[in-house]
Structure 1
Amino acid sequence: MFRYLPFFISLAAATNLYATHYDGNIYTLSLDSGNSLSITLSLKTCGDAPSWLSLDPSTRTLYCSDHSGNAVINGSLTSYSVGQHGRLTELAKTTDVGAAVHSVIYGGKHGKNGGSALTTFTLPLISDEGPLQILRYQMPQPGPKPQQDAPHPHQVILDPTGSFLLVPDLGADQVRVYAIDHHSGHLNACPALNYTAGSGPRHGIFWKSKPSHWAQAPVTMLYTVSELGGHFNAFSVSYASSGCLAFRETQSFVPYPGGQLPAGATPAELRMVGSSIYASIRFDQGFPPNDSLVTSAQLPNGTVKLSQITSSYGTVPRTFAINKKGTLVAIGDQASSNVAIVMRDPRSGELGDLVASLQVGEPGQASNSSTGLSSIIWEE
């Protein structure tokens, strides 16, 4: 079932990446033409616990979310201009509600989630300007798993039309759905996508088929991974006359060889390029002592099948990013606090050899999710 395919690439010039670490720094990394990865700059910024980066390439603006807040103490959102050689200059910093773990740019606005709330801001960000909208979450009672003591939104997803925002909520066992008012930027609640109790949906991605003379109407799919239940789920998405989204589950399986995760292992981030879907698996030690990435291949009908498992070249792969050419994957391993660069075949989608690996900041603790490397992003 699993095959290995060696292949080679060449890099014409140095490429920058940015990484956040819970030590309070944003690190600028450089991958040169000799496949040497190094830290070129570091900036103490973005609060006590920088957790996520979003880049707007059209304005060369980087946004950093601070995870240090909670239900009582506010975190922050900071913007930076991206200069030559990866140099960052702070533009603005404003207070956010709770501990933010993810963000996305939508319709000229900026949406961001953390703690038990979703917060939106008007762009460009202005220092100390208040949020555009705060949507606070509550649960009538705790969920069945210890991690479900309260709502825990983990991501903000923009649909292919740019008209809807989705928020996977690990605590509430649902993906919250919002229709975007493009005039005001405000979010209007739609019926949520509900999961089996104890699932804990964490990350998701949309896919839309390309127009074809032989196909009927384009197909839109939502793929998600659930941290607590360990499942990959596929949903067919339709745009209802009510102005909201409708979902029909088409597939559910455990994205791991043999259909069962090792004890304590959990899926984390999910990404897709072409017809290949990638999920990071934490705490499985599939390549001792390192954890894993699993690759699935999408079939023409929108369903997927597992095709490959490879090393994350570190422990607790919280995040990973694929470059625009589709030739390299940067893996952010949280506990070992290293960035691993892995080859990717853009035709088959298969992952290959390790290109480079670099320690960034101090290693974290596998038992403490607020230590170690927190995110990685390409400057493209």
Structure 2
Amino acid sequence: MPGKAFLVLVGSFSTYISSLKFTVSPPSLTLVTQTASGGAPSWLLQSPFNASIVYATDELPDGSLNSLVINKPSGNLTHIDTISTQGQYPTHIGAVLDGNTLGVANYYGSSEFVVSLKKDHLHFAGSEQLVAFNGSGPMPQQLSSHPHQVIKNGDETVVVDLGSDKIWRTSLNRAGKWVVRDSISQKAGSGPRHAVITGGMIYTLCELSNNLTQHTLPALGSGKPKLVTTQSITPPGTPANLSTPLAAAELLYADDPVPLLYASNRNDPHPKGDAITVFKLQPKLQPVAYVRTGLNYLRGVAFLGPQKEYVIAAGMLGGGIKVFKRVPAAQGYLSEVAHLPNGTVVQPSSFVWVDWN
């Protein structure tokens, strides 16, 4: 694809969102511009209706949610609207129901903030609700509920809660209010962070135990989820009893050419950096590769391209930002094709993309 290019937006723990250009052939990754965006725009979400509309968190003590518009010729962003998330340090945004509603995980607010969008998908409608969660775990990071991700699952919303070791299942009641209907318990101290729902299963990446769990996910009211298996994502040969344990971060799913999950590790002292652990799902969940990235504290990982042809990954504490092409198993699953040097973007943490052309 000579000349084919993507505009990649990078969320971060700085005060700006960075715009990168990834050119497919010959492969290159360059910084185009940076747009100020409140404080700590750590998570970005693209509108399911308009790829030029982006929502960004401000992961601060007074959390907020922003809407922005992409100007593709320049890569700049225009800020449109802001609303408080009514909680502290929002970590994730999910589009729920028909996509006209956003759910935000307030990590230190022990809550999910839910807000409707106006018809233009740029302005917040003002009909907000806060769904509170309770619970704690045995680890120091689990003194209270810490929602970390919001996922659409049909008409229900699934909230992954690192602090309580639970996956909360919520839906609207007859009065139009979000209520907790059920939960899935994870092992005490495991710290569920992110999850993927596919094929009647929920795969949950647990940050504190560095494990991946698989549960059945029946429709609400039709049965209880059951644990199928638990798999470590830790690369073989990793020293035991590290002073800073490995901590799982991101989980991605692709079904072409075969169903695969990509799980990122953090804090690995290996000289070749943190690894992405690749899992096959059939005939059973099991790791098939550990791809060293040369990145340190691998937090932000996302697919790039309409067919998920590429994986873009960032070392929040070193190594820069890299693009890997998804390749066949015989070629190692992921092959590095482009690299943005360390320090170009400060503490990168999330990505969204649009076609440049």
Range into which the TM-score falls when normalised by the shorter chain: 0.7 to 0.9
Instruction: Give 2:287's aligned residue.
Output: 306
* Pair 1:173–1:121, CA change in 2 (3 A): same
- Aligned ranges 1:265-284 → 2 under 5 Å: 265-274=246-255, 275-284=259-268
- Post-superposition Cα deviations, 1:331-373, rounded to whole Å, max 9, x if no partner, equal 0221117211011127889533211111465676xxxxxxx22
**Residue 351 of structure 2 is aligned to residue 376 of structure 1:** yes
* TM-superposed deviation, 1:174: 0.6
- Structure 1 distance, partners of 2:94, 2:223, is 19
* TM-superposed deviation, 1:198: 0.8
Instruction: Give 1:168's aligned residue.
Output: 160
Instruction: Give 2:276's aligned residue.
Output: 293
Name the aligned partner's letter for residue 62 of structure 1: V
Any idea what SS the aligned residue of 1:268 has?
coil
Instruction: Give 1:75's aligned residue.
Output: 63
* TM-superposed deviation, 1:183: 9.4
Number of matched pairs: 338
Instruction: Give 1:91's aligned residue.
Output: 80
Aligned partners of 2:8 and 2:19 also within 8 Å: yes
- Structure 1 distance, partners of 2:351, 2:180, is 31
- Give ranges in structure 2 of 5+ residues lacking alignment: none
Name the aligned partner's letter for residue 90 of structure 2: A
**Residue 250 of structure 2 is aligned to residue 254 of structure 1:** no
Aligned partners of 2:321 and 2:341 also within 8 Å: yes
- Structure 1 distance, partners of 2:145, 2:95, is 22
- Structure 1 distance, partners of 2:27, 2:344, is 23
Instruction: Give 1:66's aligned residue.
Output: 58
* Pair 1:245–1:15, CA change in 2 (3 A): farther
Aligned partners of 1:155 and 1:167 also within 8 Å: yes
Name the aligned partner's letter for residue 307 of structure 2: K
Any idea what SS the aligned residue of 2:299 has?
strand
Name the aligned partner's letter for residue 299 of structure 1: Q
- Give ranges in structure 1 of 5+ residues lacking alignment: 1-9, 209-219, 365-371
Aligned partners of 1:325 and 1:346 also within 8 Å: no
**Residue 31 of structure 2 is aligned to residue 31 of structure 1:** no
Q: CA RMSD in A?
A: 2.5
Aligned partners of 1:204 and 1:270 also within 8 Å: yes
- Structure 2 distance, partners of 1:261, 1:233, is 22
Name the aligned partner's letter for residue 25 of structure 1: Y
2:214 to 229, 234, 252: 234
Instruction: Give 1:103's aligned residue.
Output: 93
- Structure 1 distance, partners of 2:174, 2:335, is 44
Aligned partners of 2:314 and 2:348 also within 8 Å: yes
* TM-superposed deviation, 1:285: 3.3
* TM-superposed deviation, 1:126: 6.8
- Post-superposition Cα deviations, 1:76-108, rounded to whole Å, max 9, x if no partner, equal 111112222333211211112221110111222
* TM-score, length-scaled by structure 2: 0.87
Name the stretch that deviates more: 196-205 or 324-333.
324-333
- Post-superposition Cα deviations, 1:298-335, rounded to whole Å, max 9, x if no partner, equal 114xx311101112231011121112223211002211
**Residue 133 of structure 2 is aligned to residue 137 of structure 1:** yes
